[in-house]
Amino acid sequence: MTMPAVSPAAAETAAEPMLEVTDLTTHFETPRGIVRAVDGVSFTLDRGKTLGVVGESGSGKTVLSRSIMGLLPKRGTIREGSVRFDGTEIADLSAKEMRAYWGARLSMIFQDPMTSLNPVMKIGKQITESIRQHLDVDKKYANELAENLLRSVRIPEPEQRMKEYPHQLSGGMRQRVCIAVALACGPTLLFADEPTTALDVTVQAQVLDLMAQQQRERFMAIVLITHDLGVVAGRADEIAVMYAGRIVEKAPTSVLFTDMKMPYTEALLSSIPKLEQPSHTRLATIPGRPPNLVNPPKGCKFAPRCAYAQDRCLEEDPPLLPGSQPGHEYRCWFPVGTPEGIDALARNRANADAATGSPVPGAAGGAA
């Protein structure tokens, strides 16, 4: 194991993980039919750990986080499965009962700091609102807490900023304010839904560092949702790759990057531009588009876009199979790096086409 030494507290909670999601399913009723946005997702998360959830747009990352938090609208949403948090089943709690968890124990940071702050409310007010909602403190103490929070997320002159409106701050500063709001009541589990997507690259690193620091200080678990493998690479303990509403591969970070089994993970990784490549190198892409979630393909959901796909992939849906290393799971009949996988890829290259008709990179026929 490449994990750092296990702390006593972590060992204690290892018996029962803080968050245990089992077979979570979230479907939406739409005029076009039922959209299977999240389709049987299971994972566990311990306190102090970070789970990275990676996937394309529309793979169900955001819906997964909102479904776990119970933030989705009741209307037209079918939600099944179990979410256990600190030993309590929270999947069937009403919004009224969930309010004790929201903000106080579960919290969330959103993608766009431009829209996740109220434009007509002062920064200070936005932080003290939830402090006063959850903690029995007077206004003065709440203000002090808010000021300290702003200081701890490294906002200069917090007492000044408290009196300002969101539009007076830059994007990075606003996201820090959002983090301060989310952390105000000391949650133990934080969902960060693409927290850096709307930010400059330089500010991205600062915000991620800040989150990591807060995580260490508060011994908090983070579910870091992103479409950018680079963001989670150095920061997540474990990574779950999502595709079409399912986890298609899940592994400890180092295992995932060295020993990936799912062709989709491989394709995601190879689409990251590399420094050593000459300029103007054509970026590797994944052909096709994510499947229609109303009528998903019969077999493996990724098969229509997969370079490894064989006839079997179109017929049978692969289950989550255990990998060679502990904690590694994947869904694939012809995993990357295994004899079956190498064989399948070679066969597709020779035929210049995958069984499903998707182009194969490096194929003899010169597709793509």
Partner 1 sequence: MPAQPPDDMPVSGPEGARDLDRYAEDSLESGLAVAQGNLYFSAVEVGGEGQRRRGRKLGLGAWLAIGWMVFIVLFSVLAQLGVLPLKSPTESFAACARLGPFAKEGTAPGHLLGCDSNGRDMIARLAYGGWSSLFVATGAVLFGLVFGGVLGMLAGFFGGKVDTVLTSLFNVFLAIPAVVLALALVAFLQGASSASGSGGTNVDPKLLLILAIGIVSIPLLGRITRASALTWSQREFVLAARAQGAKPLRIMIREVLPNVIPAMMSIALLAIAIAIVAEGTLSILGVGVKPPTPSWGNIIGLDRGKIKESPHIVFLPALLIFLTVLSLNFLGDVVRARLDVRESAV
Q: Which of the stretches 34-42, 93-101, 282-290, 303-311 binds partner 1 when contact is defined by CB under 8 A? A: 93-101
Is residue 204 near partner 1 by the rule CB under 8 A?
no
* Binding segment toward partner 1, per CB under 8 A, in 3-11, 16-24, 127-135, 262-270: 127-135
Stretch that binds partner 1, among 118-126, 236-244, 265-273, 317-325 (CB under 8 A): 118-126
Among 36, 61, 105, 349, binds partner 1 (CB under 8 A): 105
Could you give the CA distance from residue 317 to residue 331 in angstroms, rounded to a whole number?
Answer: 8
C-alpha–C-alpha distance, residues 284 and 271, integer Å: 5
**Would strands 106-109 and 189-193 be described as parallel, antiparallel, or unpaired?**
parallel
Q: Which is nearer to partner 1, 186 or 296 (CB)?
A: 186
- Residue 78 φ/ψ, nearest 5 degrees: -110, 120
Q: Which of 21, 35, 181, 223 binds partner 1 (CB under 8 A)?
A: 181
Residue by residue, DSSP assigns 118-183 as: -TTS-HHHHHHHHHHHHS---HHHHHHHHHHHHHHTT-SSHHHHTTS-GGGS-HHHHHHHHHHHHH
Determine, following the binding rule CB under 8 A, whether residue 13 of this chain makes contact with partner 1: no
In order of 252, 254, 255, the CA distances from 258 in angstroms are 10, 6, 5
- Count residues contacting partner 1 (CB under 8 A)? 61
- Residue placing its CB nearer to partner 1 in the complex, 108 or 313: 108
Over the range 264-276, which residues count as b (16 or more CB within 10 Å of their CB) and which as e?
bbbbbbeeeeeee
CB 330 within 8 A of CB 320: yes
CB of 61 to partner 1, least distance (A): 16
**What is the rounded CA–CA span in Å between residue 227 and residue 194?**
8
Restricting to residues 284-323, name those near partner 1 by CB under 8 A. Answer: none
The yes or no reply on residue 131 touching partner 1 (CB under 8 A) is yes
Task: Identify which of residues 171 and 327 has a Cβ nearer to partner 1 in the complex.
Answer: 171
Q: Please tell me the distance from the alpha carbon of residue 83 to that of residue 63, in angstroms, as a whole number.
A: 14
Residues of the shown chain interacting with partner 1 in the complex, contacts defined by CB under 8 A: 69, 71, 75, 99-108, 110-112, 114-121, 129-131, 133-135, 145, 148-149, 151-152, 154-157, 166-173, 178, 181-182, 184-186, 188, 202-203, 206, 209, 213, 217-218
